[in-house]
Structure 1
């Protein structure tokens, strides 16, 4: 069936030319009055797709073959590109990546928030477009009896046995190579299979600092089912080997019994080194450097140098004078709160994770900042019980956005300014639609934290409307 045929059904194969990209990175084209969304691809490519869903006004498809490249397509750097699900835009020039991300922000605010004719600033580019990540999560797999280590194959749960990767550092692949060699030479070790729920090795998490030369390796496993804890003892030996040969400063072994495939352990043991890493954020503007400590399971922006741009931009957009009382909701380990503190009178940070709040308090001490308070717990409860009245509120919620009750509680406090940081323009726009009843969007500033992917961080400033 060709693009001239409008009567197609689920399961049909079509040949299409991609017209544009949708928020989140899906490709799309229009066939008569029908929009067809494809799971990937670039504008200008002629592709073969298989229809997986058809509704009244749109259809969904998976790309099965690229027939003709896009006119401005570039050669991807990584040999695993197209197979690995780690990054989908290595074949797009970086300036065009930024242009599409700006369009995603604009489309979300227009379509979801109803905010028309907003001026969207050009995205602040990442200082590095490769080797920028400070953390990556890898999975263990099995290929005909050999244990593989890598990222998920695109669209599946199978593991691509990585031989190269340009997202974290060159040392990352060296660590993966050493881990792969060790686990395959140790008979007691097996890869976990999610279908049978058998096996031992589940995830390998590598964290590195950009400015303090620290490296944390975390191996997440299932329970040891061998006699005399042979598997657990082998993991401790792996940690010692990594310390000796790769200068790993912290090695952690975590146990995960839940069957959900998430790189998080219910129990965590520090086998070697310190329990946390400390990174330094160097700001471009007139701000002192900030040291931030984070535990193994604590949240920290994965792009260290871009995080510095993000935090300083958010604080600058707030136009603080030194007299403001600030709330920082979903504060994590305190990055924004501690960046803003030297320019404010009082800062109150809230986060649901106790470990993150412990890190935030530690970070305040490390940096000698005294005008901050951090509280752990559900943000809704914390706001209800908080007596202070904020002048400025920073929010940096998870990808799902803010709970509607939190949005209502913020508006009840009527801060004069809200700085909303988000990694998902769509859920951010949903919340902006509600906040727009009392606030006016005055600045929209995307910040690229994730080169080679369709993800974009976005900062929006909202000012309280006049009575």
Structure 2
């Protein structure tokens, strides 16, 4: 993949850009195998490759410049905006939205936030594209001051972006290096973006997490569902379930599936998806994954875990190790925390593993591992 931004050193985020993609994938596979160490009985499935460009379904753009000429991209070392509207990681459906969005910012007179001076309003623009081409746009603001102007000009934006389905304002009043705040103001009647994956409609609300590479996420869900089908468990927990992707892919008549996620936004999305799909015996609950497991009366036959980068943590690892759970499917975005958690659960041994390249051009990836309880 060639990138003029990388060559001109305007953006160096894609650290592996100069390496051939096959070499990137092989290096990631070696890294994962080294992290997990030599494990007898572990079968490695072929890695899942990604498209090298145009694979991201979400753009997280820092807004810089001035209201009449905003930049959408990143900030340089001096806090000035660097426009990355033509970044090759984004598909055409996202790239084509950036021009109308920049024009909207100018039309509505929304002043970009000046990080060094700590003044202005618009901090970030977060744009998500569904597999069907619909868009969700979120304006991350310092305050509610521009909201009335955004509402006033929203009809014009929808005319310029006919596929705009969901729009919202997120409030981040604090001056700190985070993407968004806790409060969301919905601007459209439609509340969720429909993410169609493997024939299953997953609903994404503004503050819900979803993998940024839809095609590789689809492969991730298919692999987990295949492992579940082969073992045919009567009961499954999906811990850190997000919008319910794993849980809904594993739903079958006669199987009890419970999804647990701390984000109420994500759980609301998962519940809507389950109702629309009319899947039996699938429930979602907003709760802490560790607290839920420790407070449960009995364990399921199989547990799926998809924790954040820090991993499961010692309490949940101890519970899984001491439980009657026969199989665990562990989806990890950090090989180090995965290896640490596996060491804390010696009775649950890796039997199959697969690397899925969710993030080409970087050294990040997703790993899916099937664990099976052994007696010795």
Would the TM-score normalized by the shorter structure come out above 0.5?
A: yes
Tell me how far apart the structure 1 counterparts of residues 156 and 17 of structure 2 sit (CA, whole Å). 34
Structure 1 segment 316-465 matched on structure 2, within 5 A: 316-342=226-252, 345-435=255-345, 437-465=346-374
Q: Is the 8 A contact 2:237 2:258 kept in 1?
A: yes
Tell me how far apart the structure 2 counterparts of residues 374 and 129 of structure 1 sit (CA, whole Å). 35
State the secondary structure of the residue aligned to 2:242. Answer: coil
Q: Is 1:243–2:158 an aligned residue pair?
A: yes
State the secondary structure of the residue aligned to 1:341. Answer: coil
Over aligned residue pairs, what C-alpha RMSD do you find?
A: 2.4
Name 2:138's counterpart in structure 1. Answer: 218
Can you list the C-alpha shifts for 1:235-284, whole angstroms capped at 9, x where unaligned? 224532321012112221222112223222332122124111111112xx
Aligned length: 373
Q: Give TM-score, length-normalised by structure 1.
A: 0.74
Mark the CA change 1:316 to 1:87 in structure 2 (over 3 Å): closer, same or farther. same
Q: Give TM-score, length-normalised by structure 2.
A: 0.91
Q: Identify which of 81, 97, 100 aligns with 1:175.
A: 97
Structure 1 segment 76-115 matched on structure 2, within 5 A: 76-81=1-6, 82-110=9-37, 115=39
Q: Is the 8 A contact 1:148 1:159 kept in 2?
A: yes
Superposition deviation, residue 156 in structure 1: 7.5
Between stretches 308-317 and 167-176, larger displacement belongs to 167-176
Can you list the C-alpha shifts for 1:331-379, whole angstroms capped at 9, x where unaligned? 1111001111127621121111111111111111111111112221111
Tell me how far apart the structure 2 counterparts of residues 296 and 430 of structure 1 sit (CA, whole Å). 33
Q: Identify which of 39, 42, 48 aligns with 1:124.
A: 48
State the secondary structure of the residue aligned to 1:362. Answer: helix
Superposition deviation, residue 428 in structure 1: 0.9
Name 1:200's counterpart in structure 2. Answer: 121
State the secondary structure of the residue aligned to 2:224. Answer: helix
State the secondary structure of the residue aligned to 1:365. Answer: helix
Can you list the C-alpha shifts for 1:309-330, whole angstroms capped at 9, x where unaligned? 1011122234545442111111
Q: Is the 8 A contact 2:203 2:273 kept in 1?
A: yes
Tell me how far apart the structure 1 counterparts of residues 79 and 374 of structure 2 sit (CA, whole Å). 49
Superposition deviation, residue 218 in structure 1: 0.8
Q: Is the 8 A contact 1:446 1:459 kept in 2?
A: yes
Which structure has more relative contact order (CA 8 Å, sep 6+)? It is 2
Q: Is the 8 A contact 1:332 1:357 kept in 2?
A: yes
Mark the CA change 1:181 to 1:359 in structure 2 (over 3 Å): closer, same or farther. closer
Q: Is the 8 A contact 1:443 1:461 kept in 2?
A: yes
Tell me how far apart the structure 1 counterparts of residues 57 and 281 of structure 2 sit (CA, whole Å). 29
Q: Is the 8 A contact 1:85 1:151 kept in 2?
A: no
Tell me how far apart the structure 1 counterparts of residues 375 and 253 of structure 2 sit (CA, whole Å). 25
Tell me how far apart the structure 1 counterparts of residues 343 and 69 of structure 2 sit (CA, whole Å). 52
Name 1:189's counterpart in structure 2. Answer: 110
Structure 2: 5+ residue stretches without partners: none
Tell me how far apart the structure 1 counterparts of residues 271 and 341 of structure 2 sit (CA, whole Å). 29
State the secondary structure of the residue aligned to 1:250. Answer: strand
Can you list the C-alpha shifts for 1:372-397, whole angstroms capped at 9, x where unaligned? 12221111221122223211111100
Tell me how far apart the structure 1 counterparts of residues 93 and 152 of structure 2 sit (CA, whole Å). 20
Superposition deviation, residue 232 in structure 1: 2.6
Name 1:286's counterpart in structure 2. Answer: none
* Greater per-residue helix proportion: 2
Structure 1's consecutive aligned runs of 4 or more residues displaced over 6 angstroms after TM superposition are none
Mark the CA change 1:323 to 1:438 in structure 2 (over 3 Å): closer, same or farther. closer
Q: Identify which of 135, 140, 151 aligns with 2:63.
A: 140
Between stretches 317-326 and 444-453, larger displacement belongs to 317-326
Mark the CA change 1:156 to 1:169 in structure 2 (over 3 Å): closer, same or farther. farther
